[in-house]
């Protein structure tokens, strides 16, 4: 069953449908509509955060769901804080809501040691009847998570820890490094803005590619166009 699910996902596009409460598309109904659009476009699976959104999506869309449960601190620092499904309780809530795969932050931040990460993975695997995807930022974290029993590795957090490569584009090198050191399926995620980048990730060894903001966050898509216009105007001004 789990093997079948992984085979079904191979080569597929996962569309991340997420919005925080300060974004215009926040809310379960909106997320379900995003997921329906993703399915219409041919997505293989949906990534979603929080039990209420997963439940709403499941009512409308019969695709596998990568579930996360973001637990937000009062003031969020994206380089410091571990927010993606950090506790068994948070993981159980998304598994019970219907997630087929539960993704969990496996970075070595906030004093977390390799042993702590592996114990966390073991606990999730023993308690939950779902696949567990380890979200990492470096090859070393990938190795630790693989040895800890993760079913899938994901590059989600590359560029969002102080010690990982800071790039404007996807971290293809990390996909390569993971493909060299493990036989686990690799989900490539983070900063995919164009279709050809997704193709590049598959060429590099990805099993699935997840795209979020470039599909489901219209204000981010608008920003991309504005950035290009600004660049053009600056070039005109400077004559370069
Ligand atoms: C680092 C982190 O917390 N990433 C989050 C994880 O769920 C989301 O904010 C991203 O949108 C998602 O990973 C998809 O990536 P992108 O939006 O770049 O296509």
| Residue 157 in contact with ligand 1 by CB distance below 6 A | yes
Average pLDDT over residues 156-178: 98
| Helix or strand holding residue 19 (H, E) | none
Q: Quick: pLDDT tens for 203-230.
A: 999 999 999 999 999 999 999 999 999 9
**From the CA of 79, how far away is ligand 1's center (Å)?**
13
Q: What does CATH list as the number for 2-238?
A: 3.20.20.70
According to the model, what pLDDT value does residue 58 have?
98
Pairing of strands 208-211, 152-154: unpaired
> How many CB atoms neighbour CB 191 within 10 A?
17
Tokens at 109, concatenated: 């931040």
In this structure, which residue's CA is closest to atom 4 in ligand 1?
156
Q: What percent of the chain has pLDDT over 90?
A: 97
State the alpha helices, DSSP H only, in the chain: 2-9, 28-41, 51-60, 88-97, 114-127, 139-147, 172-181, 195-204, 213-216, 218-238
Ligand 1 contact, 170 CB (< 6 A): no
What is the DSSP code string of 27-86?
A: SHHHHHHHHHHHHHHT-SEEEEESHHHHHHHHHH--S-EEEE-B---SS--TTT---BS-
For the stretch 82-88, contacts whose Cβ atoms lie closer than 8 Å and that sit 24 or more positions apart, written own/partner, are 82/107, 82/109, 82/110, 82/112, 84/135, 84/156, 84/157, 88/123, 88/124, 88/127
Between CA 136 and CA 161 the distance in angstroms is 9
156 CA to middle of ligand 1, Å? 6
Could you tell me the residue ranges of all domains in the chain? 2-238
Per-residue pLDDT reduced to its tens digit, 23-72 = 999 999 999 999 999 999 999 999 999 999 999 999 999 999 999 999 99
Can you tell me the distance from the alpha carbon of 240 to that of 238, in angstroms, rounded to the nearest whole number? Answer: 5
Q: Is any ligand 1 atom within 6 A of the Cβ of residue 160? A: yes
Instruction: Indicate whether residue 133 lines ligand 1 (CB < 6 A).
Output: no
- Round the average pLDDT of the chain to a whole number and report it: 97
Q: Would the CB of 66 count as within 6 Å of ligand 1?
A: no
Residue 117 in this model has a pLDDT that exceeds 80: yes
Name the residue with the closest Cα to ligand 1, atom 12: 212
Work out the pLDDT band at 2, boundaries 50, 70, 90: confident
């Amino acid at each position: 069953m789990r093997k079948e699910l992984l085979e079904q996902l191979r080569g597929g596009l996962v569309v991340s449908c997420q919005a925080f409460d300060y974004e215009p598309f926040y809310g379960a109904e909106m997320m379900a509509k995003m997921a329906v659009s993703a399915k219409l476009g041919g997505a293989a699976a949906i990534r979603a955060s929080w039990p209420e959104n997963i439940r709403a999506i499941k009512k409308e869309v019969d695709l596998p769901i990568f579930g996360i449960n973001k637990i937000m601190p009062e003031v969020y620092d994206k380089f410091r804080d571990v927010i993606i499904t950090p506790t068994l309780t948070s993981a159980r809530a998304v598994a019970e809501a219907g997630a087929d795969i539960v993704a969990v932050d496996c970075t070595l931040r906030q004093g977390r040691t390799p042993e702590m990460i592996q114990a966390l993975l073991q606990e999730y695997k023993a308690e939950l009847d779902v696949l567990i995807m380890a979200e990492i930022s470096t090859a070393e974290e990938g190795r630790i998570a693989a040895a800890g029993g993760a079913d899938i590795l994901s590059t989600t957090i590359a560029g969002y820890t102080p010690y990982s490569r800071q790039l404007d584009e996807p971290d293809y090198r990390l996909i390569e490094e993971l493909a060299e050191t493990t036989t686990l399926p690799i989900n490539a995620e983070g900063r995919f803005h164009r279709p050809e980048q997704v193709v590049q990730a598959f060429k590099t060894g990805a099993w699935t590619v997840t795209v979020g903001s470039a599909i489901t966050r219209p204000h981010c898509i608008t920003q991309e166009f504005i950035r290009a216009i600004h660049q053009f105007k600056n070039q005109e001004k400077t004559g370069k």
